Amino acid sequence: MSNLLDMNKVMFCKLRQYMDAQGLNIAQLSREIGVTENAIRGYVKNTFSRVDCQVAIKICDYFQVNVGEMFVIKESI
């Protein structure tokens, strides 16, 4: 059984891929969904330490994807 607190895993956000596919920049997405540019930048650069559920919902709704498509868990390097 896998350890739920496995520190060798990280959460990765694929927001950059979705934004690039639609030709969006951080400022545009910020205006569209009403989330600060700094919050979006953290997800784009994968520098976030916690996921804000309300922000994640807005992002996923905007791109019409589920959370599992936007956020994935990977083995850390």
Q: What is the CATH number of the domain that holds 25?
A: 1.10.260.40
Helix, strand, coil distribution of the chain in percent, nearest 5: 50, 15, 35
What confidence tier does 6 reach under pLDDT thresholds 50, 70, 90? Answer: low
The amino acid present at 57, given as its one-letter code, is: I
- Tell me: pLDDT of 7 over 80: no
Is there a domain that residue 3 lies in?
no
CA angle 29/34/37 to nearest 5° reads: 55
Q: Which domain holds residue 64?
A: 9-75
How many domains in the chain?
1
Count of Cβ atoms closer than 10 Å to residue 35 Cβ: 20
Look at residue 46 in the predicted model and tell me its pLDDT: 96
What confidence tier does 26 reach under pLDDT thresholds 50, 70, 90? Answer: very high
Q: What is the pLDDT of residues 29-58, one digit of tens each?
A: 999 999 999 999 999 999 999 999 999 999
Look at residue 48 in the predicted model and tell me its pLDDT: 95
Is there a domain that residue 1 lies in?
no
